[in-house]
Structure formats: C-alpha cells, structure tokens
Amino acid sequence: MLVTISKVLDRNTLGAVKQALADMSFVDGRLSAGKVARRVKRNQEVAPTTPGLDQLNNLLMGQLVKNPIYQAVAMPLKIAAPYYVRYTKGMAYGEHIDDPIMRSDMPYRSDIAITLFISDIDDYEGGELVIKTQYGDNKIKLAAGSAVLYPASSLHRVEEVSQGERLVAVTWVQSAIRDPNKREILYGLYRAREKLLNDSPDAEETAQIDHSYVNLVRMWSEI
C-alpha cells in the first residue's frame, strides 16, 4: 500500500524546519548505509551529533505522529528518529531495499518507510522517489510538507538531481499490524468507517462497520 498525505507540516512548522536545516552540517550519507546500499548511495545527511537535532526532531515528528491518516495507515508501534537528507546536483540513490531490522538503542522492524518532503517542488529538478510495485514504477515528487508512506520491503530509488537542492526527512515505522495486506484491509475499513460516522452516525451499518474495524484491529495487532 502506497499512501500520500498532503500538508503534514503546516506553513510555520515547514519554515522553522527549513531554517533549522540551513544552519546544520551535513556529512556523507554513505556513513549510515549498509554494505549493499553504500554502493549506490550518493547523498548527504545531517550529522547525528549536530546541535539542535533533538529540537528539530520534536518539531517535525510532533506534526507527523498527530496526523490521523498517518495513524490509520501505519498503525504505529515504534517510529524511528528521522534522517534529514540532502541531494544536490549529480546526487542520487540507486535501487535498494531498506534493512529489515534498523539498529538503534532499541532495534525495530522496518515495516513502513516514510519520506517527508521539505524542499518545494520548484527548488530542484529530477530527484523523484521511484517505488517499484506489481503495477509498475510509481514516481513520487510531492509539495513541501507532504509525505508518502510505502512498504519498506519495496525496491526503490531516488533519481539523480539535475538542478537545485532536494531536502527530505526519512523515517521508518514498526507497525502493530505486521502483515501489509491486513494493514491495507484495515485502512479501507477505516475510510469507510470515517465516512459513515460523518454522514450516518446513528445508522445500524455504521455500528456494524465500527465494530468490525475495532475487532479486526484487536485480532490482528501484535501489542
């Protein structure tokens, strides 16, 4: 399941994130890559020891984790601190699959990958996130402040930036619903449930859908 969410960051938060990143130092992105990804990775990332990084994480993640679509799609159990990634002219990230277990103080399983776009679309040329699916390649280039969620098991790449600067934040989620097919079913039910709750809150079918959704979450979750 591939889902885009517009306006995850409001205008004020986006401006504050851009200002913070303008004052931070970046290092070679290959330093955080595994053996396979290191061969195809050409970008830069904010150094993990950069002053002010915790405050930036709180600012950006505070907006993301409160987003109701993110909550419904990801069913998050754990979420990683983001990486802030910069691509300038000539930089790209070749085809790869994200590591299944991400190492940190508390290792977690990477079920869902998230890219949150910080640069405006007009700030750079190229740089599309390309996600391979059974229906072909999906090329993603979203407005600043928007995000895309997709299976971390997907083969994906970032096309070469030919002009300008591409800034994104990337992170990964361990979902309470491990099976991606079950997550997709639940998200479909969630959308139907929300519409019925808005349009016909007292209808019998609304209660039926609500009960089915809640009990499927209970049945399938790993919490």
pLDDT (mean) for 10-30: 96
Is the confidence at residue 35, as pLDDT, over 90? Answer: no
Q: In terms of C-beta density within 10 A (0-12 exposed, 13-18 middle, 19 or more buried), how is residue 139 classed?
A: exposed
* CATH number for the domain running over 3-175: 2.60.120.620
pLDDT value at residue 97 = 93
Buried b (16+ CB within 10 A) or exposed e, 195-212: ebeeeeeeeeebeebbee
pLDDT at 20 over 90: yes
pLDDT, the chain, mean = 96
Residue 102: its pLDDT value, please? Answer: 87
